[in-house]
């Protein structure tokens, strides 16, 4: 498996062109048996859960705190020093960005988690859209 962030999408298209394989975008009908070269989203609930677990573990272990800082610095250096992706890949990323962001969840996650686990809590949705009214 490979996990990529949205800022790496153009590099994914570069790799796709280099190896000559086409990506298959996940759909709601995709099953977990055909996950090779299947491009799908990771549910935000899973990302939040794992991030919180990592945060808790690193808070209590000084060695992990230091390693996390080293990792962050290394990643920032990588982002600054990596070569730019091709113009065609950047153009393709812009063209498909909305479609990619609204893509279905990868079937591997559907197999492990229930729909309730993958659906954001309605309270969280309300908090994200909450706007304070002007108080006079």
Q: Tell me the mean pLDDT per 10 residues along the chain, length 136.
A: 82 89 78 72 84 88 89 94 92 85 79 63 66 66
Cα–Cα–Cα angle for 71, 77, 82, rounded to 5 degrees: 120
User: pTM for this structure?
Assistant: 0.67
Rg (CA), the chain: 19
Domain boundaries, the chain: 6-44+84-129
The dihedral over CA atoms of 119, 122, 123, 126, expressed in degrees to the nearest 10, equals 110
Of the candidates 39, 55, 58, 48, the one whose C-alpha atom is nearest the C-alpha of residue 102 is: 39
Left (φ > 0), alpha (ψ -120 to 50) or beta: where does 24 sit? beta
Return the pLDDT at 86: 92
């Amino acid at each position: 498996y490979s996990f990529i962030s949205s800022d790496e999408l153009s590099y994914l298209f570069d790799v796709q062109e280099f190896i000559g394989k086409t990506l298959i975008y996940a759909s709601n009908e995709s099953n977990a048996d055909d996950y090779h070269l299947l491009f799908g989203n990771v549910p935000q609930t899973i990302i939040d859960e794992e991030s919180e677990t990592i945060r808790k573990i690193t808070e209590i272990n000084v060695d992990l705190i230091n390693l996390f800082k080293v990792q962050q610095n290394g990643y920032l250096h990588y982002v600054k020093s990596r070569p730019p992706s091709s113009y065609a890949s950047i153009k393709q990323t812009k063209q498909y960005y909305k479609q990619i962001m609204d893509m279905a969840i990868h079937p591997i996650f559907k197999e492990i988690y229930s729909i309730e686990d993958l659906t954001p809590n309605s309270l969280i949705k309300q908090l994200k859209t909450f706007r304070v009214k002007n108080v006079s």
